[in-house]
Structure 1
Amino acid sequence: MNNRYLKARTLARSKHTGQFYGDLPYYVHLEAVSRLATPFGTDAMIIAQLHDVIEDTETTVDELAADFGFVVADAVSYMSDGKLEDRVKRKAMINQRLASLEADEESARLALIVKACDRLANVRASKHGSQRHYEMYKLEHESFKAAVYREGLCEAIWWELDNLIEPLKEQ
């Protein structure tokens, strides 16, 4: 494995110590996202390991830039939720930010890919473990996809995500 990736994985595990993903240590989620990001290169895998450190810990963008460079730090920053308690407002804010990204910028491209990988990992886990979360992701899917999807960017991720979500049936 790449030394930068191992450094990111070690840092993420350290920063998320004591945090859980359901009943599992938080790193289980980070590993799932990283596996999904593997086809997109080492930087995508590094970003996958670090994608929640800004929003879930005291880690700063400057710390990430010093350790991993501006491409990684900017991508993680683009993906990070704000600190608003209200999920609907928080997701609207991040979706607006993600929708404005230009996929020809490297940090933006990687952020969009890893964000899709993150959502797929969450949907996979919730479909088999938390019906409440799965239903939440179904309700958010249309606005999430409108913000994050870019044609040709990571089609296999979106194909599986769309198929797991299943379109909402009209009443």
Structure 2
Amino acid sequence: MIYLEEKALEFASIKHEGQLDDQGRPYFFAHIIQVYGLLKNVTDDVEILCSGILHDVIEDTDTTYDELVHEFTKEIADLVMEVTHEGDKETGRYFPRLHSHKAIVVKFADRLSNLVRMVNWPGDWQQDYLRESCFWPTEP
């Protein structure tokens, strides 16, 4: 299954080409590779690893769900959709589709990568990010 990981790395590097993180570093290397490394340390599940690599392609590029199904698998595309940001202020859930164990593992690696990198963010960005990190409904 290493083939799928390599394919996901190549796909994501092309899709994120030219994107920079908030510190001006290439986004693919600053964030995507970091998320992949975090996941690689805890699992060899190819769906989790590929979803970690691809977790931002629908949210941050012109990639579609159907394209992911075609290029990878429906299972990988479904996991990417689960972790794709869709703020829902009415329910208090920032990730309304986040349900499966695999998706939660991917989202926590994504959040951990962002938490490590947020040290240089302005204070209001940090506060907003921490508030948005609520995965489940909160009491009003």
TM-score between both structures, scaled by the size of structure 1: 0.68
Q: Are 2:88 and 2:96, in contact at CA under 8 Å, matched by a contact in 1?
A: no
Deviation at 1:131, TM superposition (A): 4.0
Q: Aligned partners of 2:66 and 2:129: how far apart in 1?
A: 31
Question: Larger % of helix: which?
Answer: 1
Q: 1:90 to 1:68 in 2, by over 3 A?
A: farther
Question: Residue 37 of structure 1 contacts residue 117 of structure 1 at CA under 8 Å; is this kept in 2?
Answer: yes
TM-score normalised by L of structure 2: 0.81
**Matches of 1:12 and 1:20 in 2, distance apart?**
14
Say if 2:58 and 2:84, in contact at 8 Å, map to a contact too: yes
User: 2:85–2:95: 8 Å Cα contact kept in structure 1?
Assistant: no
Counterpart residue identity of residue 43, structure 2: F
Does residue 122 in structure 1 map to residue 114 in structure 2? yes
Find the counterpart in structure 2 of residue 6 from structure 1. 6
Q: Partner of 2:16 in structure 1?
A: 16
Q: Which residue of 2 aligns with 1:66?
A: 70
8 Å CA contact retained: 1:44, 1:110: yes
Change (3 A) 1:90 1:34: farther
Amino acid at match of 1:139: R
Q: CA deviation at 1:17?
A: 1.0
Query: 2: distance between equivalents of 1:122 and 1:14?
Result: 21
User: Please, what is the CA RMSD of the aligned residues?
Assistant: 2.4
Letter in 2 for 1:34: Y
Instruction: Find out whether 1:75 has 2:79 as its counterpart.
Output: yes
Match of 1:34 in 2: 36
Superposed CA offset, 1:116-171 (max 9, x none): 110010001102x2243333333334x23x36xxxxxxxxxxxxxxxxxxxxxxxx
- Seen in structure 2, the aligned counterparts of structure 1 residues 14 and 126 have a Cα distance that, compared at 3 Å, is same
CA distance in 1, matches of 2:67, 2:84: 15
| Paired residue type of 1:49 | I
**Higher-RCO chain (CA-CA 8 Å, sequence separation at least 6):** 2
Q: Secondary structure at the match of 1:17?
A: coil
**Kindly, what percent of the aligned residue pairs are identical?**
33
Can you give the 5+ residue segments of structure 2 that lack an aligned partner in the other structure?
none
Structure 1 residues 91 and 19: CA distance shift in structure 2, 3 A: farther
